[in-house]
Amino acid sequence: MSTSTSTSKTLKLNINVQKQNFKLAAQCQIEWIKPGIHVVFGKSGCGKSHFLRAIAGLENTQGHIEYEGNTWLNTLQNIHTPCHLRDVSVVFQDSQLFSHLTVQGNLQFAFKRSSATSQDWQHVLQALNLEPLLMQRPNQLSGGEKQRVSLGRSLLSKPALLLMDEPLASLDWHSKQEIMPYIQRISKEWQLPILYVTHSIDEVMQLADQVIILNKHNDVSVIEKMGPLVELLQDVQQGFNQDFKAGSIIHGTLLDHDSNGIKDTRARENSGLNRIQIKKEILYTPAKIGLSAGPMRLCIQANDVSLALSAPTDSSILNILPAQIENIARQGSGQCLISLSLDGQKLLSRISNHSVDKLNLKVGQHVFAQIKAVALQQSIDI
Amino acid sequence: MEALWLTLQLALFSTLILIVLATPLAWWLAHSHFKGKALIEALVALPLVLPPTVLGFYLLIFLGPNGPGGWLASLWGGHTLAFSFTGLLIGSVIYSLPFVVQPLQNGFMLIGKKPLEVAYTLKASFWDAFTHVILPLAKPAYISAATLGFAHTLGEFGVVLMIGGNIPGETQVVSIAIYEQVESMEYTNAHMLSALLLLISFSLLAIIYKTRKQQGGSLL
């Protein structure tokens, strides 16, 4: 476990990357007040990966980059710290394990070149459950296992900043669910600031503390907005992001779920339900591996929330919570996005205009929100 | 037997020199975006298509008393590099260059730059990454290159005849010896040497195709 105190870490940059048919101009100051995951979010082809590669020192970049007071790039003063001397590590989309080495060899490659101790080695093996894989070759591993090894390798490199370039993009749903809890734990356990690139709104909702939104303006990739997820959620859901699925984040506390061991994924998933407390109410979610009792974040798609005027008693839906309507926004194609207040937390529901009229829904009205348990994406809150 | 020993020595030294020279050249050809790269590639491939006599002729001029080779030889009291083992070595290196450069270039291209970048992000410098990641990954390419370079030098005839002549113990390689045996109707000796060369060449090619299958790349 890292002993460094959780002082704030800052990445200052003002960079230009110019390639054939591509231009990125970004200026920002990214601050980690406590270790956490800041997500660089944007559509495919908007320059997210170039942004990350420029920070890592893998891209020909003009401008200025400074992290924790160390200048990594200053083209005016002719300072170009090469990648291997910048205190970063990168987890790539396709894991990029060295195929001529075993899992152990891959981990040792990083271990030998860093300040990691044998304690760190044990900690990484244990936290990511890598012990059983050590003697395997990369081509014998599943996608999820590869990414776990890649994550472990990066941690053993003991970086001051961890960059992750769409680490879940090439994984199937199951592997994603398997890796997600590991990623959530890493930042806290290793006191490690993480910059995480993705185009998946689900990943933003589950992982992000802060969001940096990249977008193209006149063929130049720029930072469109940045800030805490709670503030940008609105942007993500409305306005320019209408093509993304709308959803909301609800904070709660996971009760009495005993999480011992992470083996036998599927059996545990079939085993039952988690109970999550939100103020006075209890929400049921599918039991999920890698979660222990404590603060929890729930991502709820607006499409998975329906409304009723009275609490139904004969419904298959487990989660029926009292809520108050705060806003009704009519959208195109006969749909309506309704903002609800759930004990002070914001919940979105998307229903048809027809239903709104039929139930005669009004702002300020008290209703019951019905949420399908299986529709809930849960993740550790950090 | 003297000729066989000389041939093996020539092939071995040529291959060693070629591996050292071809590594940076192949790496550069695999990754450079330099505009004149095609010209360099054509130059490297030239020995593949040029008649050995043409190459041999230019080498003879180059290595002879009036060329740079002659000047070089004068440094240790000689007056020409032609008709010497050193001259033969220089000729072989040029003659077999494409057979070593091209498999390496293909190998490096197949590996790509990604493993190098990954190694950088794990705090490895270029040399560290090259020796601990690229070289092991390129092992099949090196086996191909070395075997091809070696086998091709074994089979050299025209260039050797032009610049080496036929001095036993100094420049008389197996292929020349066979030619001479046939000329003087010594068929038994010619049979023996030919069979030997056939066997060695076949074994070497078998090695190449075996590794090529593992690597999944092309021969040239």
DSSP string, A214-283: EEEETTEEEEEEEEEHHHHHHHHHSGGGTTSPPEEEEEEEEES--------HHHHHHS-EEEEEETTEEE
Evaluate whether residue A93 is within a structural domain. no
Evaluate whether residue A189 is within a structural domain. yes
Using a CB–CB cutoff of 8 Å, tell me whether A52 touches chain B.
no
Evaluate whether residue B124 is within a structural domain. yes
Q: How many domains does chain B fold into?
A: 1
Residue of B114, B123, B130 best to disrupt the A interface, most CBs of A under 10 A? B123
pLDDT of residue B191: 93
Residue of A72, A86, A96 best to disrupt the B interface, most CBs of B under 10 A? A96
**Dihedral through CA A258, CA A262, CA A267, CA A273, nearest 10?**
30
Domain that holds residue B71: 2-215
Phi, psi of A78, rounded to the nearest 5 degrees: 60, 35
Question: Do A224 and A269 have their domain in common?
Answer: no
DSSP secondary structure letters along A22-75: EEEEEEEEEEESSS-EEEEE--TTSSHHHHHHHHHT-S--EEEEEETTEEEEET
pLDDT of residue B211: 75
A113 contacts B128? CB cut-off 8 A: yes
Residue of B122, B127, B139 best to disrupt the A interface, most CBs of A under 10 A? B122
Cα dist from B102 to B13, B18, B29, B108, B206, whole Å: 19, 12, 9, 10, 19
Tell me which chain B residues have a C-beta less than 8 angstroms from the C-beta of A19: none
Question: Do A224 and A340 have their domain in common?
Answer: no
Q: Is the pLDDT confidence value at B130 over 90?
A: yes
Evaluate whether residue A33 is within a structural domain. yes
DSSP three-state, residue A368: strand
Ranges of residues in chain A whose predicted pLDDT is under 70: 1-7, 234-245, 256-272, 288-292, 373-382
DSSP three-state, residue B220: coil
Evaluate whether residue A71 is within a structural domain. yes
Separation of first and last alpha carbons in chain B = 32
CB-CB contact of A363 with A326 (8 Å): yes
Evaluate whether residue A313 is within a structural domain. yes
The string of pLDDT tens digits covering residues B133-192 is: 999 999 999 999 999 999 999 888 888 888 887 888 888 888 888 988 898 999 998 999
Q: Is A369 exposed, middle or buried (0-12, 13-18, 19+ CB in 10 A)?
A: buried
Cα dist from B30 to B19, B46, B117, whole Å: 16, 18, 16
DSSP-assigned letter for residue A378: E
Whole-number Å distance between alpha carbons of A191 and A193: 7
Domain that holds residue A57: 9-87+160-243
DSSP-derived pairing of the beta strands A210-217 and A37-41: parallel
CATH of residue B91 = 1.10.3720.10
Whole-number Å distance between alpha carbons of A36 and A187: 5
Question: Do A31 and A83 have their domain in common?
Answer: yes
Using a CB–CB cutoff of 8 Å, tell me whether A92 touches chain B.
yes
pLDDT of residue B96: 94
A114 contacts B123? CB cut-off 8 A: yes
Using a CB–CB cutoff of 8 Å, tell me whether A112 touches chain B.
no
Q: How many domains does chain A fold into?
A: 2
Model ipTM over 0.85 = no
pLDDT of residue A269: 47
Evaluate whether residue A369 is within a structural domain. yes
Closest approach of chain A CAs to the CA of B10, in angstroms?
Answer: 33
Residue A89's nearest CA partner among A180, A154, A3, A136 is A154
User: Which carries the bigger pLDDT value, residue A277 or residue B41?
Assistant: B41
Evaluate whether residue A283 is within a structural domain. yes
pLDDT of residue B92: 93
Evaluate whether residue B145 is within a structural domain. yes
B133 contacts A84? CB cut-off 8 A: no
Evaluate whether residue B220 is within a structural domain. no
Tell me which chain A residues have a C-beta less than 8 angstroms from the C-beta of B141: none
pLDDT of residue A236: 58
Whole-number Å distance between alpha carbons of A223 and A13: 12
Evaluate whether residue B142 is within a structural domain. yes
